[in-house]
Amino acid sequence: MADVRRPTDERAGYPPRRLTAAVLAIGAIALGALGVVAIVETASRAITSTSPVATTVVGEYTEERLVADRRGSRYAPFRYVIVELPDGTAADVRSDDLDVGADATVYRSDSGAVFETPPSAPGPIEWAVCASAVAGALALGVGSVRAMRRPTRS
């Protein structure tokens, strides 16, 4: 008589397949959501246009912000100036160079944000990070589906 062995689903030392698939699926959903948010934010920065606006600097103030580097985190002072726009509204601009009372050219985006210099467009590394997040989410999704399938043995 031939020895017929049935494949078993027991994997000594491993969690159940359903748990592995669930964890991979949750990771895929989370990473996919982060990837979509990153792509939307990067694309919106890429298509945003700015226009130069002539303003007058009317005030300044310093604000303490938390900054972090490889040695830890600490509070650092940041200088902001208040500029008066041609339509009569005021805007805050982070600047170390603009003096109070001086005429200055600032850049206003489509959304109304004001910058001292025009913001740079996203570079290839930012797009690569977005693509990697989406690729990682797809890989985790495939891993989740494969974890649910029982191995076929011949």
Q: What is the pLDDT along the chain (154 residues), one digit of tens a residue?
A: 565 665 555 667 778 888 888 999 999 999 999 999 999 999 988 888 889 999 999 999 999 999 998 889 999 999 999 999 888 888 999 988 888 888 889 999 888 888 888 888 899 999 999 999 999 999 999 999 888 886 666 5
By CB neighbour count within 10 A (0-12 exposed, 13-18 middle, 19+ buried), where does 118 fall?
middle
Which DSSP state fits 85? -
Which DSSP state fits 121? P
For residue 77, give Cα distances in angstroms to 9, 40, 60, 65, 106: 60, 31, 13, 6, 22
| Torsion 23-25-31-37 (CA) sign | negative
Q: Which two tokens stand for residue 18?
A: 């359903």
Q: Which two tokens stand for residue 37?
A: 């948010």
